[in-house]
Structure 1
């Protein structure tokens, strides 16, 4: 089995414009270190969801 992947280190706004449509199957993202449920609201304070229907999974999920 052959895997095709590429890791890049660049400004994400520029990098996103370079990605071909329908070329991504999975995105794994990790929030900044040190953010937990108790302090999440201090760092993530959007009033609206970016994606309709998006909700955070419960901690015990």
Structure 2
């Protein structure tokens, strides 16, 4: 198993994920929605979402 395979496996499944500034200013487009989906679904045990004012509409 090469290092590329190990890195890919590690990136595909994270024990904990922290999203910083997950508000509508940072995550507003369809591309941003896809990035949020990937981040949220990779958290195996813990997900922490931090935002100012209101969370991104994609997180509701």
Which TM-score band (shorter chain)? under 0.3
TM-score (norm 1): 0.25
With normalisation by structure 2, the TM-score equals 0.25
Higher helix share: 2
Higher relative CO (CA 8 A, sep ≥ 6), structure 1 or 2? 2
Highest Rg: 1 or 2?
A: 1
More strand by share: 2
